[in-house]
Amino acid sequence: MARCCGFASQFSEGATVIGDETATSSETELRIVIVDDQPLVRSGIAFIISTEPMMNVVSEAANGELGLIAVRDFQPDIVLMDIRMPQMDGISATHRIRENDGPPVLVLTTFDDDEVLWGALQAGASGFLLKDTPADDLLSAIRIIANGGSWLDPRVTPRVLEVVRQNRRLTNGQINELESLSEREREVLELIATGASNPEIAEMLFVSERTVKGHVSNIFAKLGARDRAAAIIIAYEGGLVTPN
């Protein structure tokens, strides 16, 4: 459990990760939509992505409304979303995408105030990066989020945890749901909170990956969590795991 720290867990060179599979298949090209109101920023991000042979920017959009259209028309694997945009901001667009079971969203912004952080998390974003992040971290975040994980810029992780503590308090019902987990499910959730992927959990528990996926599905259903990040928040708030 050495990788556990704060709201998220696994540390790489420049980010905090709540991961599932940490690498994509070499045979699968990731389809990406970029939503940002600054053409130069979109071009720069697209250029970075173009250096990766298995990533493809299928569409760019200048605001949230156009981003929703791009998601509908191009069915991307992941959306890179700015926050402050005209007509529809990134938080509203992220909420619309996620409530319709759309692709995961990685928020890219120059703003790291608490309102933006919490708004992005509440809207369902799977990752949060500041725009001055290194290119390698951006590419790593795209891979991880496209495979079901989450990624937080390490510069905001402590504040994210504090915002979670201030804004999320478990109800009695949620506490009961956490207590309803079987011993094995609690063990799996603890490993999820360390950033372990499904294959890694399977190896550590000497079970099949299919069995792990079944436990993860049961955990989500019992906790009412839509993804790993939400389950980890509940685990922290319920005291099942604690930050180092």
| Domain region containing 72 | 10-164
Q: Tell me, what CATH number does 159's domain have? A: 3.40.50.2300
Question: Are 122 and 232 within one domain?
Answer: no
Burial of 176 (0-12, 13-18, 19+ CB in 10 A): exposed
- pLDDT at position 223, please? 87
- pLDDT at position 21, please? 39
Domain finish residue from 120, 146, 164 = 164
Question: Are 29 and 138 within one domain?
Answer: yes
- pLDDT at position 8, please? 36
Domain finish residue from 164, 188, 203 = 164
- pLDDT at position 54, please? 92
Question: Are 119 and 75 within one domain?
Answer: yes
Question: Are 127 and 16 within one domain?
Answer: yes
Tell me, yes or no, whether 154 lies in a domain: yes
- pLDDT at position 154, please? 74
- pLDDT at position 234, please? 79
Question: Are 112 and 18 within one domain?
Answer: yes
- pLDDT at position 123, please? 87
Question: Are 29 and 135 within one domain?
Answer: yes
Question: Are 218 and 137 within one domain?
Answer: no
Domain finish residue from 147, 164, 181 = 164
Tell me, yes or no, whether 195 lies in a domain: yes
Tell me, yes or no, whether 37 lies in a domain: yes
Mean pLDDT for back-to-back runs of 10 residues, the chain (244 residues): 33 42 57 96 95 95 96 96 94 93 92 76 86 90 84 73 57 68 93 78 92 92 79 77 60
- pLDDT at position 39, please? 95
Structural domain tally of the chain?
Answer: 2
